[in-house]
Structure 1
Amino acid sequence: MKLEQYHLAQVNTAILRTPLDTPEMADFVAQINRVNAIADADPGFVWRLRSEGADDATSIRAFEDERILITLTVWKSLEALLNYVYRSDHASIMRDRRRWFEKSDQPNLALWWIPAGHTPNIAEAKERLEILQLYGSTPQAFSFNKPFPSPDLVITMAS
């Protein structure tokens, strides 16, 4: 059995069209616990940011603009995250995201590899979004469209 040396960290932000407690957001809010439970049960899932005493991160305001929600998760692989985002019930949120969230001119998702066992924090996540915005996809911060392999795969392939 191969010991996992790296996991994939993912930060994703979304700008709310209206506050979470408005009728316009009711469909989105109603799905949060169910969609988080799907992630929690996924064998490729490792960890997700949660507000203190809560089961989600919707009360965390990591940015000056209080309309911005943040999701920070860790996955065993890029494939596991892709399966969750696009092939689970999470895909319905992706299809409907324009109902609830404004389009941003900044990157709203960044991925990066972390040593297994490391828990990323909000400052690290914000830094990765900034790296992606400044430099595009690099091994330090990349997108689904231009991913980089896990460092342990690069080492294995070079050996």
Structure 2
Amino acid sequence: MAGLHLAQLNIGRLRYEVGDPRMAEFIDNLAFVNDLAERSPGFVWRYEDDSGSAIETRPFASDPRMAINLSVWDSVEALERFVWQTVHKRFYGRRHEWFERMDERYFVMWWVPAEHRPTVQEAVERLRHLRQHGPSDHAFGWESLPAAQLWKSARCA
């Protein structure tokens, strides 16, 4: 979409505390996967806290093990390629080792002006909207993007 970029928020409840040895492989590879994202065609921006990732950010005060990933991409195709056609897919395939299963939506996308960088609060609001109202122009998942097809074989949301 001309003048617009695609923002995405992905949340997950960690199975263990960040310092737990069972989380080590995931934590130790965050920088690698984030660097890969930043070098990927179409990458625009990602939220970082003082850790250099977003692993220390806790948007839900009631749930200290809830982790987030918030980024902006220049197109659906760029995000889809990164998620499903890079090493990211291997880590996604092992998510059950590090994240609890969630029964409610944990992934949301929305269009933003090209120069906009969403806040964590804005992103969480979009996820809440999607959970309460379903897909709309305000908040949606892969199923709302006809150009996106790769998610169908490795469902993300």
- Using the size of structure 2 for normalisation, the TM-score is 0.88
Alignment of 1:30-69 (within 5 A): 30-52=28-50, 54-64=51-61, 65-69=63-67
Aligned-CA RMSD value: 1.5
SS in 2 for 1:105: coil
Q: How far 1:100 moved relative to its partner?
A: 0.5
Gaps of 5+ in 1: 150-159
In the alignment, does 2:112 pair up with 1:119? no
Tell me, yes or no, if the aligned pair for 1:51 and 1:60 is still in contact at 8 Å: yes
SS in 1 for 2:111: strand
In the alignment, does 2:135 pair up with 1:145? no
Alignment of 1:86-105 (within 5 A): 86-105=84-103
Alignment of 1:23-34 (within 5 A): 23-34=21-32
SS in 2 for 1:56: coil
Tell me, yes or no, if the aligned pair for 1:47 and 1:75 is still in contact at 8 Å: yes
Q: Which residue of 1 is the match for residue 81 of structure 2?
A: 83
- Alignment-mate amino acid for residue 105 of structure 2: P
Identity across aligned pairs (percent)? 38
Q: How far 1:148 moved relative to its partner?
A: 7.1
Q: How far 1:31 moved relative to its partner?
A: 1.2
SS in 2 for 1:20: coil
1:7-64 residue CA offsets vs partner (Å, 9 max, x unmatched): 0000010100001111111111121111001100012100000003x32110111112
- Alignment-mate amino acid for residue 56 of structure 2: S
The runs of at least 4 aligned residues of structure 1 exceeding 6 Å deviation read none
SS in 2 for 1:102: coil
Gaps of 5+ in 2: 148-157
Q: How far 1:145 moved relative to its partner?
A: 2.2
Structure 2: distance between partners of 1:23 and 1:94: 19
Of 108-117 and 20-29, the range deviating more from structure 2: 20-29
